[in-house]
């Protein structure tokens, strides 16, 4: 009898074979999922292009994982993997489900009140070892991320900022160059020192003529046995400084060397028998209003003005070769950072205050009389109690008159925005032992080409969490659901509430829809691009999925008429 059935009903044979294959694949998949479950989560993310493929194997790829997640043991394991992937770290003050678990702790210690316009640009690293969670970050006034970019383990970044030409730049320790990103966050160019010199991390300034200023630390072997340095070595390694200006073709059009202008003994508070001797340690460059250069040299305790045409030193402020008389400042700056010329003609610096007693750091503004050689301190910003940033640091005068101070190697606080009267408009802290070389407040508009991120948490009330990393012009989201792919029934419209927005799914939606995705809406009310799609494994969706799979199988195995 069975032989006759098999001979007379080939369609039935094909059906038996197909069902057997499905069961075999299901068993194999259950074994695989119960072993690892690193990819197949309770809330399955699927590709919107899948339903347009009329291929049975692709169809199984979508639905078989959902079959395997029906057992309680597998479901529990899947949720644990999901939590490990998406739950925020315990240290964060705001819980996110759509950013990596390694995202740094951000703590707002003084809420924003009277701050200037723009976002905060910074990059974190850990001193004295390998940084496992280094990020480029753009933050808003609530300390929430606007954009983040995770760096490879044991690498770091410095001087992350928006340049005057609208591009983002940062120094990458992995490549030892300055990377350039456009407003989609795509890396489109690099800057590096020319003529065989290594690129220093401290500064990249893009000029109005599209030239670039940067520095290099120039290591040379020097004979220190001439009697100038007591107990000097015949082959001492000394690090000098090279300044370069690159034209639009990345060719060196101006070069300046500390060896030609700064004697070794001009250095201060540096042990000259060390190996190597970093006797200058340039850490900031600025284009002055007259077209010349301002240089900050940490180990000279000096700000130097340099003729950009001839390389001649015009004047020296601070240090052993100081040419100015200081007024209203009995405490000379020491191991300073970040010299800038203000529109009013004054200069600002961040004074780390190393080697001074008591040790504390401050942001300073000096009025310079370059004819009479008088430097008058007109403004000082200090923390209460005092903060001492032993290294790093920045001071930025903002358009509204506020001053943003990056305290450098200090974790609490990390940054403070001061009003002109010295009161605090905003303050933020990184984790203990994490620092940012500088911090900037700058305007920015970001238009990422990567899709928005959507996840669903089903541990209690099923909730959608969604965000779009780097998108600054989004004001809301439309939430779509569907029984099949792609989900196209509008369920809700939500205003953007921060980096991450969420929608609690009501029981009515759970009984009607299996798939969900979101569409960000920009300030002009335009739809942008869809997020990934997620699947909620409810009993109704299980019934619909298995019914659809059975329909597909019978359609595939039926004999042609």
One DSSP character per residue, 112-167 reads: -SSPPSSEEEEEEEETTS--SS-EEEEE-TTS-EEEEEEPPTT--EEEEEE-TTS-
Average confidence (pLDDT) per 10 residues, the chain, 561 residues: 46 45 39 32 41 27 25 25 29 74 93 98 90 95 97 96 98 97 98 98 97 97 72 85 98 98 94 90 98 98 98 98 97 97 98 96 98 98 96 98 96 93 97 95 98 93 96 98 94 96 90 93 97 86 69 52 47
What three-state secondary structure class fits 490? strand
Total domains present in the chain: 1
In a domain, 489, yes or no: yes
Give the torsion through C-alpha atoms of 61, 62, 63, 68, to 10 deg.
70
| 38 belongs to a structural domain | no
Are 277 and 284 spatial neighbours (Cβ–Cβ below 8 Å)? no
Q: Which pLDDT tens digit goes with each residue over 228-242? A: 677 777 788 999 999
Residue 505 sits in a domain whose CATH number is 2.60.40.10
Residue 469 lies in a domain: yes
The rounded distance, in Å, linking the Cα atoms of 469 and 274 is: 46
Asked if residue 452 belongs to a domain, the reply is yes
Cα separation, 34 vs 412, whole angstroms: 45
379, containing H or E segment: strand 374-381
Strands 277-278 and 236-246: parallel
CA 107 – CA 444 distance, rounded (Å): 22
List pLDDT tens digits, range 369-386. 999 999 999 999 999 999
pTM: 0.83
b/e map of 324-341 (b: 16 or more CB within 10 Å)?
bebeeeeeebbbbbbbbb
**Which structural domain, as residue segments, surrounds residue 485?**
448-538
Task: Answer yes or no: is 512 within a domain.
Answer: yes
Domain presence at residue 504: yes
> Has residue 320 been placed in a domain?
no
The two three-digit tokens of residue 478, written as one number: 């439309």
């Amino acid at each position: 009898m069975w032989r006759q059935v098999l001979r007379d009903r080939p369609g039935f044979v094909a059906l038996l074979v197909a069902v057997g294959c499905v069961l075999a694949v299901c068993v194999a998949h259950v074994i695989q999922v119960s072993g690892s479950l690193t990819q197949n989560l309770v809330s399955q993310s699927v590709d919107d292009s899948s339903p347009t493929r009329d291929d049975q194997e692709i169809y199984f790829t979508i639905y078989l994982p959902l079959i395997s997640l029906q057992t309680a043991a597998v479901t529990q394991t899947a949720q644990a993997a999901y939590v490990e992937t998406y739950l925020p770290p315990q240290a964060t003050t705001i819980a996110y489900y759509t950013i990596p678990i390694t995202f740094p702790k951000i703590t707002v210690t003084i809420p924003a009140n009277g701050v200037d316009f723009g976002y905060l640009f910074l990059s974190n690293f850990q001193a004295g070892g390998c940084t496992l969670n280094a990020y480029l970050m753009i933050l808003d006034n609530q300390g929430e991320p606007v954009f983040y970019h995770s760096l490879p383990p044991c690498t770091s970044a410095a001087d992350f900022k928006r340049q005057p030409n609208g591009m983002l730049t940062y120094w990458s320790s992995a490549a030892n160059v300055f990377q350039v990103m456009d407003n989609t966050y795509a890396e489109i160019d690099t800057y590096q020192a020319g003529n065989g010199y290594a690129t220093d991390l401290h500064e990249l300034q893009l000029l109005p003529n599209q030239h670039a200023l940067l520095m290099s630390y120039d290591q040379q072997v020097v004979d220190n046995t001439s009697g100038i340095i007591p107990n000097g070595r015949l082959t001492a390694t000394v690090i000098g400084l090279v300044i370069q200006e690159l034209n639009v073709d990345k060719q060196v059009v101006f070069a300046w060397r500390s060896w030609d202008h700064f004697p070794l003994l001009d250095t201060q508070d540096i042990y000259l028998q060390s190996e190597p001797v970093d006797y200058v340690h340039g850490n900031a460059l600025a284009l002055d209003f007259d077209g010349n250069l301002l240089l900050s040299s940490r180990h000279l305790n000096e700000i130097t003005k340099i003729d950009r045409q001839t390389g001649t030193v015009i004047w020296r402020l601070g240090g052993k070769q100081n040419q100015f008389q200081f007024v209203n400042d009995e405490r000379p700056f020491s191991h300073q950072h970040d010299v800038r010329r203000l529109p009013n003609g004054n200069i600002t610096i961040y004074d780390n205050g190393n080697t001074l007693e008591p040790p504390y750091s401050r942001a300073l503004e000096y009025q310079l009389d370059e004819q009479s050689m008088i430097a008058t301190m007109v403004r000082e910003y200090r923390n209460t109690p005092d903060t001492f940033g032993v290294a790093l640091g920045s001071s930025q005068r903002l358009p509204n008159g506020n001053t943003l101070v990056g305290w450098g190697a200090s974790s609490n606080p990390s940054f403070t925005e001061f009003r002109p009267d010295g009161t605090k408009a905003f303050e933020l802290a990184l984790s203990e032992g994490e620092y940012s070389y500088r911090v900037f407040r700058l305007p920015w508009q970001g238009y990422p080409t990567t899709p928005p991120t959507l996840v669903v948490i089903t541990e209690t009330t099923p909730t959608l969490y969604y965000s779009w990393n780097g998108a600054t012009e989004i004001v809301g989201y439309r939430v779509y659901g569907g029984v099949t792919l792609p989900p196209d029934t509008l369920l809700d419209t939500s205003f953007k509430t921060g980096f991450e927005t969420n929608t609690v799914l009501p029981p009515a939606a759970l009984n009607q829809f299996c798939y969900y995705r979101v569409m960000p809406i920009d300030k002009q009310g335009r739809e942008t691009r869809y997020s990934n799609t997620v699947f909620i494994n409810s009993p109704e969706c299980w019934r619909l999925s298995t019914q659809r799979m059975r329909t597909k199988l019978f359609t595939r195995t039926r004999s042609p008429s």
